[in-house]
């Protein structure tokens, strides 16, 4: 199988390419910048902005001869205005669908996120029947929901599609979640809203990539899986406090959890979002209502559909993944020695 991966130089995209190459698939990547890691794997690379109309011909050429496309490119974040998210996540997805149709690519797997259905109060063991909320807490989740719906609506006898919803992807090389936690530690303390007892499921990067390969296989016989969406995760919900402190320990940082009153955290996020709107800030990782809500409430999912239709099982467990992370993590900055006068921050990561 010849497969095109959008966002192939990214954290998840690179692992998808690794696993495709490992099983003998001819792999093509498109991203904005070249990647030495992809070059070492032997992946053919195209530098393409999937949102730029001037690059559409090159996008189409990259898809030529492919039997499938994995669309993992996206703008992720917890804050920021709608326009850049819409351009990256909605317009970009429309262009990928169009390229698939022009080149008669028969299969498209879309990387969505479990946060497209998140709502205040959280999600406890929900399945794919849960509808999108009437209002999203952030432009990121709104545009990812729009993109997901576009991909599912594009399912047809000529283009089989499905979407995957991994959640909080982490592992070796993680540029988002664990580093954001490390930056948030000040003088040995981690300021977090609530007590951290809410159960959260996460997704190791190898688990997420493995699910994409299973989805590609499923779309070879799309009658059951085509046009559907699937939650993906470790299926091992843990308290937020345990997840965050153990990820920090794996990076060599010992921190103490310091509770911020939930109402204060929510109010601070609301005021902060208003300020960013007034100043027309384009920051994508500032403190936001979405981020605070996800740190206060549970979010874990029923993976029955993925097990049934994709034969999905996590290839690595949470504890084994942390052991691997401990062995491979680079030395961390000693945030405990920073000045206590420096203003503490709450971690802001894409969900």
Other beta carbons less than 10 A from residue 170's beta carbon: 26
**pLDDT, position 6:** 97
* 85 included as an active-site residue: no
Q: What is the pLDDT of residue 235?
A: 97
How far CA 107 is from CA of 101, 135, 154, 164, in Å, comes to: 10, 31, 11, 14
Q: Out of 1.10.8, 3.40.30, 3.40.50, 3.90.25, which CATH number does the structure's domain 177-199+236-300+317-337 have?
A: 3.90.25
- Say whether domain 2-170+204-231 belongs to CATH 3.40.190.10: no
Contacts of residue 228, Cβ cutoff 8 Å, sequence gap at least 6 = 128, 152, 162, 163, 305, 309
pLDDT of residue 341: 32
Residues sharing a CB contact under 8 Å with residue 263, sequence separation 6 or more, in sequence order? none
The pTM is what? Answer: 0.91
What is the model's pLDDT at position 349? 43
Sketch the domain layout of the chain as residue ranges: 2-170+204-231, 177-199+236-300+317-337
The active-site residue, picked from 46, 85, 140, 230, is: 140
Both tokens assigned to 135: 């209002």
Question: In the prediction, which pLDDT does 333 show?
Answer: 45
Listed in sequence order, the DSSP H helices in the chain are: 11-22, 36-41, 56-63, 82-85, 92-102, 139-153, 177-184, 205-218, 240-250, 262-278, 289-296, 304-310, 318-328
Give the DSSP per-residue string, 96-163. Answer: HHHHHHHTT--EEEEE--GGGG--TT-EEEE-TTPPPPSS-SSHHHHHHHHHHHHHHHT--SSSEEEE
State the Cα–Cα distance between residues 321 and 342, nearest whole angstrom. Answer: 33
The per-residue pLDDT string of the chain (351 residues; one tens digit each, 9 = 90 and over) reads: 899 999 999 999 999 999 999 999 999 999 999 999 999 999 999 999 999 988 999 999 999 999 999 999 999 998 889 999 999 999 999 999 999 999 999 999 999 999 999 998 999 999 999 999 999 999 999 999 999 999 999 999 999 999 999 999 999 988 888 888 888 887 788 989 999 999 999 999 999 999 999 999 999 987 889 999 999 999 999 999 999 999 999 988 999 999 999 999 999 989 988 888 888 888 887 788 899 999 999 999 999 999 999 999 999 999 999 999 888 866 554 444 443 333 334 444 445
Q: Which residues contact 54 (CB under 8 A, 6 or more apart)?
A: none
């Amino acid at each position: 199988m010849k497969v095109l991966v959008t966002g192939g130089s990214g954290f998840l995209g690179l692992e998808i390419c690794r696993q495709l190459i490992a099983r003998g698939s001819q792999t093509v990547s498109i991203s904005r910048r070249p990647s030495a890691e992809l070059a070492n794997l032997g992946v053919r690379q195209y530098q393409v902005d999937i949102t730029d109309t001037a690059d559409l011909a090159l996008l189409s050429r990259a898809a030529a001869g492919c039997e499938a496309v994995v669309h993992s490119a996206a703008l992720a974040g917890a804050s920021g205005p709608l326009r850049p998210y819409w351009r990256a996540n909605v317009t970009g997805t429309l262009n990928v669908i169009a390229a698939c149709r022009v080149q008669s690519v028969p299969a498209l797997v879309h990387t969505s996120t479990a946060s497209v259905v998140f709502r205040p109060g959280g999600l406890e063991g929900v399945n794919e029947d849960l509808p999108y909320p009437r209002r999203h807490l952030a432009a990121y989740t709104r545009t990812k929901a729009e993109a997901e719906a576009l991909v599912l609506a594009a399912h047809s006898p000529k283009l089989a599609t499905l979407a995957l919803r991994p959640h909080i992807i982490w592992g070796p090389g993680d540029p988002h979640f664990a580093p954001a936690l490390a930056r948030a530690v000040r003088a040995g303390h981690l300021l977090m809203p609530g007590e951290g007892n809410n159960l959260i499921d996460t997704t190791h990067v190898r688990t997420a990539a493995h699910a994409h390969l299973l989805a590609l296989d499923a779309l070879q016989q799309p009658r059951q899986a085509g046009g559907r969406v699937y939650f993906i995760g470790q299926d091992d919900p843990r308290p937020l406090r345990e997840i965050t402190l153990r990820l920090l320990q794996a990076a060599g940082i010992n921190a103490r959890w310091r509770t911020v009153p939930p109402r204060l955290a929510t109010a601070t996020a609301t005021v902060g979002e208003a300020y960013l709107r007034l100043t027309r800030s384009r920051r994508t990782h500032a403190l936001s209502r979405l981020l605070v809500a996800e740190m206060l409430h549970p979010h874990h999912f029923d993976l029955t559909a993925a097990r049934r239709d994709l034969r999905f099982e996590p290839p690595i467990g949470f504890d084994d993944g942390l052991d691997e992370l401990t062995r491979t993590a680079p030395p961390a900055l000693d945030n405990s020695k920073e000045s206590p006068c420096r203003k503490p921050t709450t971690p802001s990561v894409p969900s």
